[in-house]
Amino acid sequence: MIQQHTAAPRAAMHPVGYAGMLARRPDLPTAGVERRAQSGHGGIAKCSASSLASQPKKLVDSPKPHRIVVVDDDTGFRESLCALLKSRGYAEPATCTNGQELLEMLMESPCDLVLLDLLMPKVSGLDVLGMLRQANLDVAVVVVSGDSMIESAISAMRLGANDYVRKPYTAEMLLFSIETVLRRRDLEKSHRQMTDALAQSERQYRFLVEASPDLIFTLDEHFNFSFISGHVASLNGYLADDLKGKPFLSIVFEEDLERTRYTLERVGHGACSTELRFVGRDESAYRHYDVSLIPIEASAAKVFLGNARSCRIYGVARDISDKILNHDRLAFLAYHDALTGLPNRALFCDRVGLAMVQAKRSGMKIAAMFIDLDRFKLANDNFGHQKGDELLKDVARRLQESLRETDTLARIGGDEFTVLLPGLRTREDAAYVANKLVADMRKPFLLADVEVTLTASIGISIFPDDGEDIETLLRHADIAMYHVKSHGKNGSGFFSNAMDEATSRRVSIESEIRHGLEVGEFELHYQPQVDAATRHIVGLEALSRWQHPASGLLLAGSFIPAIEEIGLMPAFTYQVLETACRDLRHGCELGYDMPRMSVKVSPRVIEQDDFLEHLLGLLHQYAVPHESFEIEITENVFIGDRQKVSDRLLQISREGIRIAIDDFGTQYASLSYLRYLPVNTLKIEQSLIREIERSDDKSPIVRAIVAVALGLGLDVVAEGVETEVQAGYLHQLGCRSMQGYLFGQPMGFEDIAPLLSRRAI
């Protein structure tokens, strides 16, 4: 608006006239006005310095925060206007003498209000308004000009000026205009901020709703959808618009409808939740959801939804289909084998327990079978574990086909299966099924286009004859299976009490062996090896003995197989090696000229990765020369990984440790092995020596072994020499070393010491 300096127009423009304004605001000064004429400027209002000084100063706690710029080419006007603004609590205004300076200033830092003169050199006020409008700068403009032409005022207002005050002016008029414009600007700024905040909040809310993995919806008083998030499309194939206005129950799975109706009716009494299934758009599948329903008051619904329809329920549905699927799978795996899908031990035992209860009521028998595949490990090693798993699946299918629907086949691990046969009248019924399973297993399987033949060993126990509880019945079936395997495999057999006694004895021996190793009941006896010509002692063979607290001294043959079976052979062998090294060192410290020491080592221990390191550590610890130590291996070491054994023996030989083959000629060794293996000694097994009964007896095997050894430059030791006839014959053949009762029995280190001092027998 265009503000006049006379009172009448001002009063006409504002409901409160100048007199009323002054009555309400006695603090507003009435500035003196001095008129002076300048070329090109018309009348210019100027507040005199004496007038401003005579006005009472208003105490201001702090400057008003607005930044104001005064633009006028009249220095006196700029100074008087700045003084007026400062007296009213405004911060020190910035000043410019022309429009060019203003534009440069606004480019560097913004301001809230520009008090602009129109009549300025170079760039007029109207030009400045045009540039501000074109640049879209956020700044308010009050024109304070002496231009009396109404067209100039109209042009200024059209170009974006917020108010127009003509010179000369009264202080209250100008201040009122400034405060009005700034107040309006503050209100507009606050409104914009509030609008932006609301828009941002709405965008954030919509983003959260649409981006949420959950399905968010509202229902009206008739349980129809009034809002549903767009996520429904990716879950069930619907579009949000497809469901608006439709009943909530229209997408609920039929079997869950009654429960869902009950839940919806209860929402009025408070929030509730339930699990239900939503059908897809094609109604061919459904998914599981965990649904939370919250009641909404009608007034709140109207505020949020912006319509007259009452929103009764706010709901959130979370898809838990994967969770349900995983739960079901975990529940399945808890009672089934992951590979074959058969029941596992837990489910099998549960069914055995149920069958026992039914058998007691009916007076029938049940049979528990323990099945072990005899040749599976060979196939698994040859074809790999993946093909081995396929073979196990084929075995499971074949076994299942041979059983009744009421029978239970389970896999309890590896290549071991169990079978439950309920409702039997006689033991022969179980035997018939077992024989059928054994026969079916003999049929070849096709694996990787190769026919693979397996056999099965089956142990059978009968309830209630062989056990009246689950654990006993299964344990007896297991014992019967091991009895079948130990007697040739590929068959079936029933449990007997004699088997239980043998098993109990084996368990007892295992416990006694472990205890014996801990307390040092095992010891070494040494049997001398003598030179066939001079009868001088050239070696000692270390033989294990068990000083059993109840049974007395036991030979190695009575406990070595048990040690091998229970997996203690590495620990036992390392203990034997350490004892032999310690005794060898002790003999040297006593002054004996100690002969070579020979120690048997199991093939399984030879294949241990740390065997050589452990052996070298013991030799170093007891300062035993490597050439004084000999490792005896049996021929069955060659039936395993021949390359691995060869590499290991070569490593041992490179360390200067001797290698002997024990019991040569009685097991699996091929003479061709001797051509590339680092063997130093062949030991002829004593059963071959016993065949020599007369001095003219011709033993072709012994003669051949000695001839081969001599031809290859190997030493030969004949074991079990008991007569001079045997000794003479062997010496005649060229056998250089012998051992046996003819020269001395195995004895403790204290007993063999006198022989070592003499060195001759």
- Asked whether 312 and 293 are in contact (CB, 8 A), the reply is no
Determine the 3-state secondary structure of 418 from DSSP. strand
The pair of structure tokens assigned to 142 is 């009050």
Comma-separated ranges of CATH 3.40.50.2300 domains in the chain: 2-191
Across 134-138, 305-309, 392-396, 567-571, least confident range:
305-309
User: Please, which residues have CB within 8 angstroms of residue 426's CB and are 6 or more apart in sequence?
Assistant: 365
**pLDDT at residue 29 greater than cutoff 80:** no
- The residues that bridge with 463 in the sheet, in sequence order, are 366
Q: Given pLDDT bands bounded at 50, 70 and 90, which one contains residue 235?
A: low
Helix axis angle, 724-733 to 700-711, nearest 10°: 40
> Would you state the pLDDT for residue 636?
66
The pair of structure tokens assigned to 35 is 């008129």
More confident position, 308 or 402? 402
More confident position, 631 or 35? 631
Q: Given pLDDT bands bounded at 50, 70 and 90, which one contains residue 237?
A: low
**pLDDT at residue 122 greater than cutoff 70:** yes
Give the CATH H-level superfamily of domain 212-326. Answer: PAS domain (3.30.450.20)
Q: Given pLDDT bands bounded at 50, 70 and 90, which one contains residue 69?
A: very high
- Does 168 sit behind a cis peptide bond, omega within 30 degrees of 0 on the bond before it? yes
Show the CA angle centred on residue 509, arms to residues 508 and 515, nearest 5°.
95
Q: Given pLDDT bands bounded at 50, 70 and 90, which one contains residue 511?
A: confident
The pair of structure tokens assigned to 319 is 């898809």
The pair of structure tokens assigned to 117 is 């003169």
Burial of 405 (0-12, 13-18, 19+ CB in 10 A): exposed
The pair of structure tokens assigned to 719 is 């074991």
> Would you state the pLDDT for residue 607?
83
The pair of structure tokens assigned to 543 is 């033989």
User: Please, which residues have CB within 8 angstroms of residue 407's CB and are 6 or more apart in sequence?
Assistant: 419, 420, 421, 422, 433
DSSP-derived secondary structure letter, 414: T
Architecture of domain 336-495: 2-Layer Sandwich (3.30)
Determine the 3-state secondary structure of 140 from DSSP. strand
- Average of pLDDT values for 535-542? 93
> Would you state the pLDDT for residue 721?
93
> Would you state the pLDDT for residue 228?
84
Determine the 3-state secondary structure of 390 from DSSP. helix
Give 282-288 contacts, CB < 8 A, sequence gap 24+: 282/237, 286/253, 287/235, 287/236, 287/319, 287/321, 288/319, 288/320, 288/321, 288/323, 288/324
More confident position, 435 or 285? 435
The pair of structure tokens assigned to 613 is 């390191």
**pLDDT at residue 5 greater than cutoff 70:** no
Comma-separated ranges of CATH 3.30.450.20 domains in the chain: 212-326
529-537+569-752: CATH, from 3.20.20.240, 3.20.20.450, 3.40.50.1100, 3.10.20.30: 3.20.20.450
Q: Given pLDDT bands bounded at 50, 70 and 90, which one contains residue 369?
A: very high
SS3 of 667-733: CCCCHHHHHCCCCCEEEECHHHHCCCCCCCCCCHHHHHHHHHHHHCCCEEEECCCCCHHHHHHHHHH
- Does 678 sit behind a cis peptide bond, omega within 30 degrees of 0 on the bond before it? no
- Average of pLDDT values for 78-104? 89
Q: pLDDT per residue over 123-168, tens digit each?
A: 888 988 998 888 888 899 999 988 878 888 899 899 989 999 988 8
Determine the 3-state secondary structure of 217 from DSSP. strand
Across 300-314, 581-595, 664-678, least confident range:
300-314
Q: Are strands 450-452 and 445-447 parallel, antiparallel or unpaired?
A: antiparallel
Determine the 3-state secondary structure of 288 from DSSP. strand
> Would you state the pLDDT for residue 190?
87
- Asked whether 690 and 697 are in contact (CB, 8 A), the reply is no
Q: Given pLDDT bands bounded at 50, 70 and 90, which one contains residue 530?
A: very high
Is this model's pTM higher than 0.85 or not? no
Q: Given pLDDT bands bounded at 50, 70 and 90, which one contains residue 44?
A: very low
Q: Given pLDDT bands bounded at 50, 70 and 90, which one contains residue 392?
A: very high
> Would you state the pLDDT for residue 265?
84
2-191: CATH, from 3.40.190.10, 3.50.50.100, 3.40.50.1820, 3.40.50.2300: 3.40.50.2300
Across 13-27, 134-148, 297-311, least confident range:
13-27
User: Please, which residues have CB within 8 angstroms of residue 326's CB and are 6 or more apart in sequence?
Assistant: none
Closest alpha carbon to 371 in 434, 453, 326, 439: 434
**pLDDT at residue 282 greater than cutoff 60:** yes
**pLDDT at residue 22 greater than cutoff 60:** no
> Would you state the pLDDT for residue 52?
40
Q: pLDDT per residue over 178-230, tens digit each?
A: 999 999 988 988 888 888 888 787 777 777 777 677 888 889 888 998 888 87
d(Cα 76, Cα 647) in Å, to the nearest integer?
110
Q: Are strands 681-684 and 658-664 parallel, antiparallel or unpaired?
A: parallel
Runs of H (alpha helix) within 408-558: 427-442, 470-486, 497-519
Counting residues of the chain whose pLDDT is more than 70, the rounded percentage is: 85
Q: pLDDT per residue over 582-591, tens digit each?
A: 999 999 998 8
> Would you state the pLDDT for residue 48?
39
User: Please, which residues have CB within 8 angstroms of residue 627's CB and are 6 or more apart in sequence?
Assistant: 596, 656, 657, 658
> Would you state the pLDDT for residue 23?
31
Q: DSSP secondary structure string, 502-542? A: HHHHHHHHHHHHHHHHHHT-EEEEEEEEEETTT-BEEEEEE
Query: How crowded is the C-beta side of 744, counted as CA atoms within 13 Å?
Result: 24
d(Cα 585, Cα 582) in Å, to the nearest integer?
5
- Average of pLDDT values for 534-544? 93
- Average of pLDDT values for 372-398? 89
